[in-house]
Structure 1
Amino acid sequence: MSETTITLRDQIEAQLRTVFDPEIPVNIYDLGLVYEISIGDNGNVKITMTLTAPGCPVAGDIVRDVQEKIETLPEVMDCHVQLTFDPPWTKEMMSEEAKLELGFL
């Protein structure tokens, strides 16, 4: 019987599911705000993400929360969070669970 191996990507996704936009009761990963997770050989991680609105008043807090939570993982040496608004976020980017939670289904 083989052991289940939790990959670094799985750990990163789990950490991202603990970060919330204070105005929305769904985590940023299921909201579809995370566009890309890049993992370098040297333990450097780059997260490309967006926000639900460009003028989000807690943008700095969310970015800092992502960076701090990813950097707590033992295999991660550094985490860089890149904000982008291209493409703009839409409700269609949410997971089915997030849409259900927010009443969009």
Structure 2
Amino acid sequence: MAEQKIDTNELGEKIVKVLKTIYDPEIPVDIYELGLIYDVFVNENYDVKILMTLTTPNCPVAESLPQEVEEKVKSLDMVNDCELELTFDPPWSQDLMSEEAKLELGML
């Protein structure tokens, strides 16, 4: 039987779906559409590394939000491990929001 190979693009899509279930408590838009996720890396061992930011460094969920992201991504069957790196470089700005998020917040 051939070794089952999981498409990392497919896994990437599943990760994005999970990220879209996580909301910033102060803004009724998910963290993916807000532009808080800068990058998602998946290696051949299905270890995931997520580079993300928060709307501000003293965001009230600075402790819990990254933990929630890590736990929800780790809960995916195909994911071996998840490491989250928080960065404020570049700092988040409203320019990073998707059209969908801007529309949702009445900014368009």
Q: Shorter-chain-normalised TM-score: which range?
A: over 0.9
**Structure 2 unaligned regions, length at least 5:** 1-6
Superposed, 1:17-96 pairs within 5 Å as: 17-96=20-99
| Alpha-carbon distance in 1 for matches of 2:62, 2:19 | 15
| Alpha-carbon distance in 1 for matches of 2:61, 2:38 | 19
How many residues matched? 101
Cα deviations by residue, 1:12-61 (Å, 9 ceiling, x for unpaired): 00000011111110000000000000001111100000000011121111
| Alpha-carbon distance in 2 for matches of 1:103, 1:54 | 25
TM-score computed with the length of structure 2 as normaliser: 0.90
Aligned-pair CA distance for 1:98: 0.1
Q: RMSD of aligned C-alpha atoms?
A: 1.2
| Alpha-carbon distance in 2 for matches of 1:31, 1:57 | 16
| Alpha-carbon distance in 2 for matches of 1:15, 1:59 | 19
**Runs of 4 or more off by more than 2 Å in structure 1?**
none
| Alpha-carbon distance in 2 for matches of 1:74, 1:41 | 15
Percent identity of paired positions between Structure 1 and Structure 2 = 53
3-state SS, counterpart of residue 82 of structure 1:
strand
Q: Is residue 99 from structure 1 mapped to residue 99 from structure 2 by the alignment?
A: no
**Structure 1 unaligned regions, length at least 5:** none
| Alpha-carbon distance in 2 for matches of 1:62, 1:55 | 12
| Alpha-carbon distance in 1 for matches of 2:57, 2:67 | 17
